[in-house]
Amino acid sequence: MSSSRLTRTVALAAACAMAVCLTACSSGSTGSGGEEGAAAMRASDEQVSTAMVVMQDGASVLFVDQQTQTPYYPTLPEGAVLNVDGQPMADGDLAVGNIVEVTGNGIMLESYPGQYPGIYKVQVIEVGSPADADRYADLVESVGAGAALDPNEVPSGSLDYRTDLAVVTSMLEAYRSDFAADTPEGASDAVLAGTPFTDDGTLRDGVADARVEGPTEATVSFLATPVSVQVSRVEMGKTDGGQPTVDRTRLQATTQPVETTAGDGMPGAVAFTMEPGYLYFINATFDGGSADYGFACLTPGTN
């Protein structure tokens, strides 16, 4: 499988190199453990940092981490944005100059500014004042409102899961959509072709992969809140050279629906159990259109 696929692994040994001061994650078992197991796993993965609100325009919020000075767009969890008294508040009530405590999984998507989809809770710990953010004026001007998510652009997605050795986030790129935006420059083969596999059934560059030993709990989320998300899968075979492949002639007959539940952290996130040997399809509908994403679930060492 091509090394150019958009997969990032945050290994325990390298976790401290992430943009938001990641520390080593507690170890845990791989696989689905029900609601109690998922809650315990989330608690063991929680990372706490402090940030200042430096931009709030009603459509987007920009934070700056106060230890690393890294700017990032937070995905604010519904019902878990709290005021200084610990009471729920509207996202739009966050004000420039607020100092907030951010609790999440610590995994930042690689972009500039960064994007932090795995936030569990945000609490204002100091009200501050807009003048406190004046030192970030140049930053806000350079990335400002123009860097906010365009509703005509396809939202990127992420696949999150945990193994015994790492917490992993793989970026999911939509290979097909009916959004109004043009295809971006440098798009992968899968995007350009509108399908995750070639005519012979092998996977195209741009299709993410997950590497696990057995059934594992996974969460898929997006930078925009979806109206609905459907997950399905098809079993893969292998070429003579050991590459994963899909029998396109039997695709419709062999595709299976996958049961999902509400995922943690982000509005619209879905959780499900993934198994190696399958190609997973995610169809997400947003206010601006629908999009199809996909990833291959493989055992470690698969080509």
The 10s digit of each residue's pLDDT in 136-154 is 988 887 765 444 566 778 8
Task: State what percent of residues in the chain have pLDDT above 90.
Answer: 40
| Segment 232-237 mean pLDDT | 95
| Segment 73-91 mean pLDDT | 91
* pLDDT in the model for residue 106: 86
Sheet holding 99-104, edge to edge: 81-82, 119-126, 99-104, 47-56, 61-65, 71-74, 114-116
Q: Which residues pair with 129 in a beta bridge?
A: none
* CA–CA dist 233, 275 (Å, integer): 10
* pLDDT in the model for residue 156: 84
pLDDT of 21 > 50? The answer is no
3-class DSSP assignment, residue 172: strand
* CA–CA dist 109, 116 (Å, integer): 6
* pLDDT in the model for residue 154: 86
Tokens coding 200: 């012979």
Confidence of residue 173 (pLDDT cuts 50, 70, 90): confident
* Residue owning tokens 């690393």: 68
**Alpha-carbon torsion, ordered 179, 180, 185, 190, to 10 deg:** 30
* pLDDT in the model for residue 62: 92
Taking a C-beta distance cutoff of 8 angstroms, is the pair 175, 193 a contact? yes
* CA–CA dist 22, 5 (Å, integer): 24
pLDDT of 233 > 90? The answer is yes
* pLDDT in the model for residue 26: 32
Bigger pLDDT: 290 or 57? 290
Bigger pLDDT: 153 or 125? 125
Task: State what percent of residues in the chain have pLDDT above 70.
Answer: 77
* pLDDT in the model for residue 242: 85
* pLDDT in the model for residue 6: 35
* pLDDT in the model for residue 111: 67
| Segment 197-225 mean pLDDT | 90
* pLDDT in the model for residue 59: 67
| Segment 47-64 mean pLDDT | 89
Closest-CA residue to 23 (of 31, 14, 36, 34)? 14
Q: Mean of the per-residue pLDDT values for the chain? A: 80
Whether a cis peptide bond, with omega within 30° of 0, leads into 257 is no
pLDDT of 75 > 90? The answer is no
* CA–CA dist 79, 89 (Å, integer): 8
Confidence of residue 42 (pLDDT cuts 50, 70, 90): low
C-alpha 147 chain-centroid distance: 18
* pLDDT in the model for residue 30: 38
* pLDDT in the model for residue 190: 66
pLDDT of 63 > 90? The answer is yes
| Segment 227-247 mean pLDDT | 92
Sheet holding 216-222, edge to edge: 7-11, 166-172, 157-162, 216-222, 270-274, 261-262
* CA–CA dist 19, 70 (Å, integer): 7
**Which pairing describes strands 47-56 and 99-104: parallel, antiparallel, or unpaired?**
antiparallel
H/E segment holding residue 267: none
pLDDT of 79 > 50? The answer is yes
Closest-CA residue to 197 (of 29, 49, 2)? 2
What is the dihedral sign for C-alpha 275, 175, 9, 71? negative
Confidence of residue 28 (pLDDT cuts 50, 70, 90): very low
